[in-house]
Chains A and B, each alone.
Chain A
């Protein structure tokens, strides 16, 4: 906590101590009267009475006047010790007591009208007087500081929440891109190698053809030397032994087919990425929701392929106006969550259908299920059961938000050991289709 912002602010009881000299219980009343007249004590409401360092009471100006203004009071009481007139139950506060606790104690025991100051002690011994007004001021500035801190914390929270929403997007994007990049590496690996191999084969074939051509030239040349021709023929025979052109070319033919296939794979992956991000498409569009499902499946294939068998029952759907890039994100989130819930190879059942009002999609897995206490918090921001650093706890919160912005609904049911079903419905007549609105958490 920082309190330095306000210089007048009292940190603790220490700053409230006024080292007013205490009076002895045997001091005659007349001498006390003089003390009250002393301008140094003008602010003081009461004087502390201390015996052997221990405060035994206070005498307030109010009480003193009440006594001393009566007729013959000076004569009657003047020489008597003040002990007989004091309040024996003064308000006591220990020096190391927290400010709020002290304030509470004083508020509870204070008498009205306010006629007495409180006594500050250290280990029970008198230290000085405290003024209630000072205490009030201290409390007030503490409250102001608290409010400032709360405001600051609130704005920090707001900005870090925005950063988190962004980081969740980046995290799922990063995971996705890494997956796709890796998937591209395999076809890229053999295509690149095939080209390198082909290049070397080319040089072999070139040499072979050069050999044949010079042989043919010599054979056609009537003046050619017989010995040279037979040397050439031997050379070509050796080359043929070393390098079976026909077989190599046959193999290379196969590698060309493979390469074209690999390039096709790479193009498909790039196309999937483009479809998923829809960077080149309008934010809001009338589309078939099955396309979003397929797009998310393509992108998530890398995570899904070894973990789940995918069963699709997709009904041909009418078009729905929505923000496809956001719905892609929702589906990818549901699919990858399901894959992560699988301890062994599992099943992911994806169905789509529609009625008069809405399009429905259900995503069911046969994973380990979600316990009831987690199920109720599943759409809460920052709720995650993953280890620290592995999940932001925002995936489903953002999904929930996206579906709400589409005027739709997302529900979850789960049974431990049986599996989890998510059900999404998106109405045809959505009041406010999310424009390019960024999802944010409320």
Chain B
């Protein structure tokens, strides 16, 4: 059996050489400092995982990964960067749709583990990619809004009309109950509900139900929290408040479409598999939430 292919892009050759040595035993390693060359390789070869630096002279990593997404959708995308700037991390969610946002310096074991996981997912993606049977929906998709501000819910209602059922939750408790009841297609959530940081809810939901797509809408700008949400909640979009209605509409449409696509090919939902929750407090909250979900689901027979 041939080895899976790993493509590395960084403007510092020493990074490339170092990573190549880490992976050469188990992977065919292709590497380049030139983003255009990387795109050529993606077009011509079957690449399982791409790891890109963010700050490069010709092209930002998030932009390269956005192009990689079009060129080779099955390839899993990882960003490896020494710079934790907000702009880059937002772009890596919204454009690059990265599987992981990793920081330099990295732990060899962790990177190896992430790449192994990504490789397995890519192999599964390549296997199913060819056929996509159409799915007939039996009921309206449900969209959950988690926000203190009812205006967000109203805006979503205006956008979606009667295509979807829109539920507005302004407390963490209410949101968790809705999430327990049945599959939600898309969650539109602020990071704070009242005084509660709802990151753990998004992270838990994605563990239980990887098909659910999370759009985070917030005016809160904290890069390290965003990076956690990329890795541990695989949020699909990060939109700043005040909301731009047309951008929200566009993203809602594409996330509803993605939810349907994943319903027909559940194996692809693994592309948004999440990393374990790292924060001890959130881990505890997530555990409690899971326990509550179990009890609620048993009671209502979902």
Contacts and interface: CB of A to CB of B under 8 A. Distances in A.
Interface of A: 182-194, 196-197, 251-252, 254-255, 258, 261-262, 306
B82 A193 contact: no
Given A182-B83, A183-B82, A197-B22, A189 B104 contact: yes
Nearest to A190: B18
B59 to A, nearest CB: 12
Contact of B82 (A185, A258, A306): A185
Given A182-B83, A186-B82, A255-B21, A197 B14 contact: no
B242 interface: no
B17 A258 contact: yes
Given A192-B105, A193-B108, A182 B15 contact: no
Contacts, number: 65
B57 A193 contact: no
A190 B82 contact: no
A262 B108 contact: no
B37 interface: no
Contact of A185 (B57, B103, B107): B103
B12 interface: yes
Contacts of A185: 82-83, 103-105
Contacts of B22: 193, 196-197
A191 B15 CA distance: 9
Contacts of B82: 182-186, 189
B17 A255 contact: yes
Contact of A261 (B14, B57, B80, B108): B14
A258 B55 CA distance: 20
Given A189-B106, A193-B106, 19 more contacts: A185-B82, A185-B104, A188-B104, A188-B105, A189-B82, A190-B12, A190-B17, A190-B18, A192-B106, A193-B18, A194-B21, A196-B107, A196-B108, A197-B18, A251-B21, A252-B21, A255-B18, A255-B21, A306-B57
B1 to A, nearest CB: 16
B18 A194 contact: yes
Interface string B48-60: 0000000101000
Interface in B208-263: none
Interface of B: 12, 14-15, 17-19, 21-22, 55, 57, 80, 82-84, 103-109
Nearest to B57: A306
A307 to B, nearest CB: 11
Contacts of B104: 185-186, 188-189
A184 B103 CA distance: 12
A194 B105 CA distance: 11
A186 B10 CA distance: 10
Contacts of B55: 306
Contact of B108 (A197, A251, A306): A197
A251 to B, nearest CB: 6
A191 B105 CA distance: 9
A188 B18 CA distance: 11
A71 to B, nearest CB: 86
A175 B109 CA distance: 31
B18 A186 contact: no
B187 to A, nearest CB: 30
B13 to A, nearest CB: 8
Report the 9 A-B pairs with minimum CB-CB distance, sorted nearest first. Answer: A185-B82, A189-B104, A196-B108, A190-B18, A189-B105, A185-B104, A258-B14, A188-B105, A193-B18
A166 to B, nearest CB: 24
Contacts of B80: 189
A184 B14 CA distance: 14
Contacts of B57: 306
A188 B80 CA distance: 13
Contacts of A252: 21
**Residue with the greatest number of chain B CB neighbours at <10 A, chosen from A197, A252, A261:** A197
Nearest to A254: B17
**Residue with the greatest number of chain B CB neighbours at <10 A, chosen from A188, A193, A306:** A193
A150 to B, nearest CB: 37
A190 B104 CA distance: 9
Nearest to A261: B14
A196 B112 CA distance: 12
B142 to A, nearest CB: 38
A109 to B, nearest CB: 55
A261 B12 CA distance: 12
Contact of A262 (B14, B106, B107): B14
B215 to A, nearest CB: 26
Contact of A186 (B12, B19, B109): B12
Contacts of A197: 18, 21-22, 108
B197 to A, nearest CB: 23
Nearest to B112: A196
**Residue with the greatest number of chain B CB neighbours at <10 A, chosen from A183, A196, A254, A306:** A196
Contacts of B109: 196
Contacts of A188: 104-105
Contacts of A194: 18, 21
Contacts of A190: 12, 14-15, 17-19
21 contacts: A182-B83, A184-B82, A185-B104, A186-B15, A187-B14, A188-B104, A189-B15, A190-B19, A191-B105, A192-B105, A193-B18, A193-B105, A193-B106, A193-B108, A194-B21, A197-B22, A251-B21, A255-B18, A258-B18, A262-B14, A306-B57
A195 to B, nearest CB: 9
Nearest to B103: A185
B116 to A, nearest CB: 15
